[in-house]
Amino acid sequence: MFCARCNKPSGDTDKCSTCGTRLKTLESAKRRGWIGFGAGVFLVIFPAAIAIWIDRLMAGQTAPGTAGFIGRLNLAFVLIAVSGALGMINGWRQGHSGRTNRAIVIATVVVFAIAFFLAYTASNAYNPS
């Protein structure tokens, strides 16, 4: 069995003797890891596809601010891909051991938040009309 709260395997059968949380099977903890891994793969591929699409869409645009907008947006996409890669690393490890790596999870959230903020300010700053 596996305690998601203590983040470690447990010899108990129903509830964790350390924290009292209902235990999950190690298999379900690993399955969650692989789901996280899949989400990470998606976060790497998805922004790359969008970035290519936007670059084509914006090609030939000469409105002021376009270059800065694309630059910032591309940076946001790179950061989203980085957070996806971190999610893949964590998911891969969790898929094998059941454990999550808290440091990686926090880094993933922070990087994703920065990317989201960048994309938000980029679209705010861009005003082609």
119 counts as binding Zn ion under rule CB under 5 A: no
Residue range at the interface with Zn ion (CB under 5 A); choices 6-14, 39-47, 92-100, 115-123: 6-14
Looking at beta carbons only, is 1 or 79 nearer to Zn ion?
1
Rule CB under 5 A: choose which of 1, 16, 76, 86 binds Zn ion: 16
Q: Which stretch binds Zn ion (CB under 5 A): 9-17, 48-56, 61-69, 103-111?
A: 9-17
Q: What's the rounded Cα separation, in Å, for the pair 44 and 120?
A: 19
**SS3 readout for the chain:** CEECCCCEECCCCCECCCCCCECECHHHHHHHHHHHHHHHHHHHHHHHHHHHHHHHHHCCCCCCCHHHHHHHHHHHHHHHHHHHHHHHHHHHHHHHHCCCCHHHHHHHHHHHHHHHHHHHHHHHHCCCC
23: left (phi over 0), alpha (psi -120 to 50) or beta: beta
Residue that has been written with the tokens 């938040």 in this structure: 113
* Min separation Cβ 9 and Zn ion, Å: 10
- The answer to whether residue 5 forms part of the interface with Zn ion (CB under 5 A) is yes
Min separation Cβ 3 and Zn ion, Å = 3
Smallest gap from residue 28 Cβ to Zn ion (A): 15
Residues in contact with Zn ion, shown as a per-residue x/- string from 17 to 56 under the rule CB under 5 A: -xx-x-----------------------------------
Residues at the contact surface with Zn ion, assessed by CB under 5 A: 3, 5-6, 16, 18-19, 21
